[in-house]
């Protein structure tokens, strides 16, 4: 199944990290804070301006992005994978190599 976001929405796959304590104990993802980085897997057509024109999004599929701790309040399960749906304005920046 595929998901196609509308307007200025972006679908992000959250980057999962395993945390290890100083003593070497590996904490599962549920015991740590959720990371605020991820990969863009789908983007909408763009934001509709007041004049009715469509302004294209600046992020693209495959971009590694940074977002806020509480961004993407809509969590969707697609093929058993949790994905975040957020507005492009909730993305702080794009990580570049």
Given a cut of 70, is residue 33 above it in pLDDT?
no
* Each residue's pLDDT tens digit, 64-86: 999 988 777 677 777 778 888 99
Name the residue ranges covered by the structural domains of the chain.
9-17+26-95
pLDDT, residue 29, reads 58
Query: How many whole angstroms from its chain centre is CA 72?
Result: 7
Query: How many whole angstroms from its chain centre is CA 94?
Result: 11
At the top level of CATH, the class of 9-17+26-95 is: mainly beta
Strand pairing category for 26-27 and 54-55: unpaired
> Is residue 14 within 8 Å of residue 35, measured between CB atoms?
yes
């Amino acid at each position: 199944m595929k998901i196609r976001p509308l307007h200025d929405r972006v679908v992000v796959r959250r980057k999962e990290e395993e945390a290890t304590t100083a003593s070497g104990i590996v904490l599962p993802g549920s015991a740590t804070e959720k990371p605020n980085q991820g990969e863009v897997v789908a983007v909408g057509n763009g934001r509709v301006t007041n004049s009715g024109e469509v302004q294209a999004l600046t992020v693209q599929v495959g971009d590694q992005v940074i977002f806020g701790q509480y961004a993407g309040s809509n969590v969707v399960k697609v093929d058993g994978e949790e994905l975040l749906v957020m507005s492009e304005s909730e993305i702080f920046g794009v990580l570049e190599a």
